[in-house]
Copies of this chain bind each other. A is one copy, B any other.
Amino acid sequence: METEVLPETIYDVPTPAFLVDLERTKKNCSRMRERCWKLGVELRPHQKTHKTVEGGDLQTDGTRRKIVVSTLEEADFFSKNGFDDILYAYPITASKIQKCKEISAKCEQFHLMYDNLESLKALQNSPPGNGRAWSVFLEVDIGGDRTGIPWDDDRIISFAREAVNLSNIDFQGLYSHDGNSYSCTQGKNNKQGALEEWGQTASSRIVETQRRLKEHGIECRTFGVGSTPTCSVPDGSLSSLTEFHPGNYIFYDYMQYLIGSCEESDIACRVATRVVCHKEEQNRMYIDCGFLGVSHDGLYNGPEQSGMAKFIGHDELKFIGMTQELGFVSTNDGSKLDYQKYPLDSMLFFYPWHSCATAANHSVYYIHSGDKIVGKWRPTRGW
């Protein structure tokens, strides 16, 4: 239990600070659960965005069952905190198996992901113990610059068959991310149609892969898709999958808003920062959030007009650069900054470009309900 005194409101936090809007977070979580329920797919939420027990509780509706993680540290942290049915969705290689055994010993269900035969054989030769087999998902690349075997590659059949045939291995099915959906950031304010089109492509590729395996006598118990854009604005065809495993949707962010995954009013995290310097000769001001408070993510990807962050209530401001502890802010249209509107030490809030990258820079999240600070969450980190 957190016994230290909390700041009273969001205007009292030390800056820079990562703030989480509790109502928006809960709403994002319940909306995704309802969506999955309606589509008839299971939800296995990814923990990599928030890495907290509290966030995992909201995503799993308190069951602490059926999650995805991206690091062994996350797997360890969540298993220690009573979470189970954990999928470590990362290409497994031999050097990580020992740590996997330790985690597996603490879980009823711990699943791994593979995309090559070498790792599969290493798993066969190093079973988890207690007579159990390794539960494995084959990673399928359905586009988007990730790991995995391309969905239309014949190795899908042989790699799945190998998992079915090898001892100490229990073949679960297919895992895919659908990174393609992120390419919608290339155009600003994409319409939902584009996301639904990606979703349709994703589902058809996964279903086709699963069908081909079935033709070869290999049953996939699970075959799902993971990206937040795809799962937030799903095409109806996604109901033919068994599982969604998005993560970012717990907070969303400015990038997701531009992709079209959410409304601005759904973004559940923001950074609080204060003005520390007026620099009239540069038509700039400096804020106390540099790259250690927000990360560089989006600095070079963001649309020209708005930079890498959306200042709340200040559409005229642009985040133009940073050093370790300073952010540089100017105007979007090159007009003169009206410094009277941003007094020294006054607070600004912005939605970060990529909440996963920004959250990871903070050892504390300040949780607020309205303006009131109601708690702190402490994420795990490392590998």
Contact = CB atoms under 8 A, between A and B. Distances in A.
A299 B291 CA distance: 14
A15 B91 CA distance: 13
B297 A99 contact: no
Contacts of A344: 93-94, 116, 118-119
A364 B381 CA distance: 11
Interface in A107-145: 115-116, 118-119, 145
A94 B291 CA distance: 23
A15 B99 CA distance: 12
A328 interface: yes
Contact of A357 (B17, B324, B381): B324
A118 B326 CA distance: 19
Interface in A79-94: 90-91, 93-94
- State the main secondary structure of chain A at its contact with B: loop
A374 interface: no
A281 interface: yes
Nearest to A382: B363
A382 B362 contact: yes
Contacts of A94: 344-345
Chain B CB count within 10 A is highest, among A17, A146, A286, A382, for A382
B91 A277 contact: yes
A339 to B, nearest CB: 11
Contacts of A299: 296, 300
Given A71-B325, A325-B90, A357-B324, A147 B116 contact: no
B278 A116 contact: yes
A218 B153 CA distance: 76
A219 to B, nearest CB: 26
A357 B291 CA distance: 8
A194 interface: no
Chain B CB count within 10 A is highest, among A94, A179, A344, A360, for A344
Contact of A324 (B70, B274, B323): B70
A213 interface: no
Interface in A274-305: 274-279, 281-282, 286, 288, 291-293, 295-297, 299-300
A277 B147 contact: yes
Contacts of A281: 150, 153
A345 B286 contact: no
A357 B15 CA distance: 19
Interface string A230-253: 000000000000000000000000
Contacts of A275: 93
A321 interface: yes
A14 B383 contact: yes
A309 interface: no
Contact of A70 (B17, B279, B325): B325
Given A147-B286, A382-B362, A383-B15, A91 B276 contact: yes
Given A95-B345, A292-B357, 11 more contacts: A48-B324, A71-B325, A91-B276, A91-B286, A93-B288, A115-B277, A116-B278, A150-B281, A153-B281, A324-B357, A324-B360
18 contacts: A14-B99, A48-B325, A70-B325, A91-B277, A93-B276, A93-B344, A95-B345, A116-B277, A119-B344, A145-B282, A145-B323, A153-B281, A288-B383, A292-B357, A292-B381, A296-B299, A324-B356, A363-B381
